[in-house]
Amino acid sequence: MSLKQNKVNCNNCSLDNICFPRGLSLEEIKTISQIIKPKKTLQRGEYIFREGDDFRGVLAIKSGTAKLISNDHHGNEHILNILLPGELLGFDGFCNDKYHYSAIALDTLSFCELPAKSMDDIFHNVPTLTRELFRHSSEKMNDDRNFFVLSKRPAEERLAHFLISLSDRLQKRGFSASEFTLSLTRQEMGNHLGLALETVSRLLKRFQQENLINFKSKHIEIIDIPRLRAIFTYTE
């Protein structure tokens, strides 16, 4: 009983300039292509990993989206972040050799894996990737900090920032910056932003009335990106 594994070729990947291979030479990309485990596919609702699972490695979303969830002492779920294609997750696993939050597919999703057991090998032999991993990890910290600082601002700024942040990140990945479908309920958006679901609903309606966005159910079109961005960028 042997399973055939497809070989990874990071060099062919459309995400090569934002994912693991970022900044590496062709030679180095060949090396890591042999280390990285080929992509696996999950359906909506399936777990990439669960809080408390053993650290398997740093993962990269190849396609689809995911939500990161942490549970607090009161049994409430907290959506820490939404991940898009090309984004990495699992850096928290280096501490205690286990994951500290859960990652769940929001769509059909595929991901690649830089295995934990290859990590020492990488540290020894591919210092450029090591540096790049620190850079990725550092970027994540900066994004989180930014989100945290904004989480102290009023509801409308938080929602505006969330939408613009998605738009920016989608554009960087070659998707439309102005139109997307977000597989999140109002409840989940509210949870992520620290708002009641009713508040999210009311604000989306207001943004639509002000001709900033158009939405139908989970499909969102941003009509006026600059004005939506201005909501959390400038004080009026």
Partner DNA sequence: CGTATTATTGACTCCATTCAAAGATAGTGG
Partner DNA sequence: CCACTATCTTTGAATGGAGTCAATAATACG
Residues forming contacts to a copy of itself in the complex (CB under 8 A) are 70, 72-75, 78, 80, 91-95, 100-101, 119-120, 123-124, 127, 130-131, 133-135, 137-142, 144-145, 148-153, 194, 232-235
- Position 150 contacts DNA (CB under 7 A): no
**Residue among 31 and 102 whose Cβ is closer to DNA:** 102
Question: Which partner in a copy of itself, DNA, none is near 155 (CB below 5 to 8 A by kind)?
Answer: DNA
Residue with smaller CB distance to a copy of itself, 39 or 167? 167
Size of the site for DNA (CB under 7 A): 22
Judged by beta carbon distances under 5 to 8 A according to partner kind, the member of a copy of itself, DNA, none in contact with residue 93 is a copy of itself
Within its chain, how far is the Cα of 170 from the centroid?
11
CB of 18 to DNA, least distance (A): 29
Residue 198 binds which entry of DNA, a copy of itself, none, with Cβ cut-offs from 5 to 8 Å by kind?
DNA
Shortest Cβ 43–a copy of itself spacing (Å): 27
CB 188 within 8 A of CB 67: yes
229: tokens are: 């961005």
Q: Which of residues 168-207 bind DNA (CB under 7 A)?
A: 185-187, 190, 194-202, 204-205
* 216 binds DNA, rule: CB under 7 A: yes
Give the footprint of DNA on this chain (CB under 7 A): 154-156, 185-187, 190, 194-202, 204-205, 215-218
